[in-house]
Structure 1
Amino acid sequence: MAIGYLYDVVIDCPDPDALASFYRELLGGTTVTDDDGSWSTLETPNGKRVSFQRVEDYVAPRWPGQECPQQIHFDVMVTDIDASEPLVLELGATKLEMPRTSPGFRVYADPVGHPFCLVTG
């Protein structure tokens, strides 16, 4: 049995609304942007989500090198974040500090350091 299901893929960028618009033209769908412009979500016609979050001093990844790695993370939807946390920690995840707190999500690193979030809906 899985702990949760893939809810969203989140891409770091300098301008979430502009990048969401690019992908809306590429993939179709509709976008929703938060009030402060730091987050946009593209909901595709087939019901998938891709979100874009503003990162100050964004540096684009360089392919194929890893001097500046690709910047993306998974949001994993869970029904009970308190019950799910010990399960992901047991799998080898590490809980990461967040600059701002929100009761609906927590940030972790996978065993090799890639961030992912547990979220509740």
Structure 2
Amino acid sequence: MAIGDLYDVVIDCPEPVKLADFYQQLVGGEIVDADSDWVSLRTGNGRRLSFQQVEGYTAPRWPGQELPQQVHLDVAVADLDAAEAEVLALGAAKLHDKHAACRVYADPAGHPFCLVIV
């Protein structure tokens, strides 16, 4: 028996509004809660993704562990090349593309995320 249900995934960042906008363009949804240091996005399938401002934020450095990733998201897409062009235009940075069905990027705050074919 579970103790509870997953409610939210919270990502630390320096600019919550900016990062929420990036992810809203990436996965869709609507902003359901926002102030200067917290923004929550609810996607079309009801999942919540929130962004919390952290003073002195330091971005993770993938794949090393000197500054390890705290969390990463896998985003399912139909066409990796088309999706890559879109996320790069939004401000993502490409980190790795060794696997045919998965490519790794960093969001504008440095968090790794993957585009995957599922």
- Could you tell me the TM-score, scaled by structure 2's length? 0.57
Residue-pair matches, total: 71
Are 1:19 and 2:9 counterparts? no
The alpha-carbon deviation at position 34 of structure 1 amounts to: 3.1
CA contact (8 A) 1:39 1:52 kept: yes
Identify the residue that residue 7 of structure 2 maps to in structure 1.
7
Runs of at least 5 residues in structure 1 that lack an aligned partner in the other structure: 73-121
How many percent of aligned residue pairs carry the same amino acid?
65
CA contact (8 A) 1:17 1:33 kept: no
- 1:11-51 CA-to-partner distances (Å, cap 9, x unmatched) read 0000001000000000011113433x110001001100100
Q: C-alpha distance in 2, partners of 1:56/1:71?
A: 16
CA RMSD of aligned residues (A): 1.2
Q: Secondary structure at the match of 2:21?
A: helix
Q: Aligned partner of 2:46: which letter? A: G
The alpha-carbon deviation at position 71 of structure 1 amounts to: 3.0
Q: Greater CA radius of gyration, 1 or 2?
A: 1
- Could you tell me the TM-score, scaled by structure 1's length? 0.55
Runs of at least 5 residues in structure 2 that lack an aligned partner in the other structure: 72-118
Q: Secondary structure at the match of 1:6?
A: coil
